[in-house]
Amino acid sequence: MESRGYWVGLCVAILSSAWLQAAAQGLPPGFPCKPLACSTLIPTHVVDDPKTNDCAYRAGNLWWVDYVAGSLAWSKDKRANPVTVALFDDGFWIDHEDLRNQLWTNQAEAHGKAGTDDDGNGYVDDLHGWDFVDNSPDVAPKGACRDRFSHGTLMASLVAGEHNNHVGIAAPGSDGARVMPLRIVGCDGTATRMDPARLVRALDYATRMGARILSFSAHWSVTSEELDAAFREIADRPGSPVAAIVVASVPNKGEPTAGYPAAYDFRRIVRAIPIGNDDELSPGTSPAPSGLNLGAPSACVIGAATPPSQYRLEQGSSNSTAILAGLLAGIWSSPRYAKLSPDEFLAGVVERRMSKTARRSKPGSRSPYLDGVPLADACLLATARRSARVCRQPEAHREARP
């Protein structure tokens, strides 16, 4: 099999609204995103907790959180057993105000000595992930990417943007997800190509260091035997010691196939199908293999862009992937599920409940490969009273009652 790979898509397209300067004072007047139809899908007065102080949420601009009932994955405090979500992307501004408290931390390096590989994992000072392009602990965007909007930063914020910190956004994984930033593509020249050997090293790092969800807001069409084998071990082989859930993007650029890793027919792959804020499958969405295919918001999504406090409005299937990864992490980290293995969580929660829930929205009616849009398993996560109002699925409704 050909070993030359290439990076096909960081799937976000840029809306013309350009940079948004949104800080603690709130979003600009006339901000183009409105809650739209989501308020008819989920009772906002229930989901939109008035105690939440993140300005974008309070301004009604996080339709994508309410759309998946993401606020039900929040908890009063950070979860005791957060799920580490590894992000494979082009660089991360980890000092962003909505990210800096949301990172996976290598405790051995945090309490170790600078310049020393304190945990002996082969990476010196890998405090918050690793840059596999430039072989460095600094995961920030490099080269021309330093002056652009940062795709990786946006994805990290959609996974775990911090809830109730008086600024910016709040993501479903705020209290249950911790982001492990892994830079696997760069901006310039050959570094923009997806190198299969480089990705194999990053996969090995992520699983060895405890990531339980691997999120790919990217896709590629050429792979290698080594890369296929690494994904098979993580995402398919029963009893694998490095088993993890792979959340894979399905692009919406009109391409004839979804690309890898969505194209793998593996049991632990969950595909994110992009849904626009018109409550429809995003135009140009590639056909996807059957399996665990869940819808998630793609358009009109606001997230972190550059440090220390800038945000940006984006659309694209990358967003869907990160939102779904954060939602799954937020649910998986709840005390009820925290001890489940990846296979147990997928079978008992994602497949049995989330993908079978009769979602009160249009997606699914037009797509043979979309199983539905998940809610944050509201009937199990929330109190019985809240659940009864939010979740209308008969089976779950009954279960939610005392």
CB of 115 to Ca ion, least distance (A): 6
User: Which residue of 5, 70, 168, 330 would you call a contact of Ca ion, by CB under 5 A?
Assistant: 168
- Select 160 or 246, whichever has its Cβ closest to Ca ion: 160
CA distance 200 to 206: 10
Asked whether position 377 contacts Ca ion by CB under 5 A, the answer is no
For Ca ion, which residue of 48, 90, 162, 377 counts as binding (CB under 5 A)? 162
Shortest gap between Cβ of 62 and Ca ion (angstroms)? 10
Which residue of this chain has its Cβ atom nearest to Ca ion in the complex? 54
- Could you say which of 43, 49, 105, 119 contacts Ca ion (CB under 5 A)? 119
- To Ca ion, the closest distance from the beta carbon of 118 in angstroms equals 4
Q: Which one-letter DSSP state was computed for residue 27?
A: P
- Cβ proximity to Ca ion: between 114 and 144 the closer is 114
In the sheet that holds 130-131, the strands lie side by side as 130-131, 177-183, 83-89, 213-216, 245-249, 269-275, 292-297
Which token pair is 357?
């829930």
Q: What residues have CB less than 8 Å from 132, skipping those under 6 apart? A: 182, 183, 184, 198, 199, 201, 202, 205
Element holding 198 (H helix, E strand): helix 196-208
Which pairs with CB-CB distance under 8 Å and at least 24 residues apart come from 132-137?
A: 132/182, 132/183, 132/184, 132/198, 132/199, 132/201, 132/202, 132/205, 133/183, 133/184, 133/185, 133/186, 133/191, 133/198, 134/183, 134/186
Q: Which segment (19-27, 125-133, 325-333, 385-393) binds Ca ion by CB under 5 A?
A: 125-133
Give the interface segment with Ca ion, choosing from 169-177, 215-223, 233-241, 334-342 (CB under 5 A). 169-177
With CB under 5 A as the contact rule, the residue among 61, 165, 285, 306 that binds Ca ion is: 165
HSE-CB of 167 using CA atoms within 13 angstroms? 18
Show contacts with Ca ion in window 318-357 (CB under 5 A).
none
Nearer to Ca ion by Cβ, of 132 and 231: the residue is: 132
Q: Find the binding residues for Ca ion in span 57-116 (CB under 5 A).
A: 98, 109, 112, 116
Residue 119 or 236: the one with the smaller Cβ distance to Ca ion is: 119
Q: How far is the CB of 286 from Ca ion (least distance, A)?
A: 32
Distances (CA, A) of 54 to 23, 57, 104, 237, 264: 10, 5, 22, 41, 38
Smaller CB separation from Ca ion, 272 or 304: 304
Nearer to Ca ion, 105 or 257 (CB): 105
Whether residue 39 contacts residue 277, with contact meaning beta carbons closer than 8 Å, is answered with no
Contacts with Ca ion by CB under 5 A lie at 54, 98, 109, 112, 116-119, 121, 123, 125-126, 162, 165, 168, 170
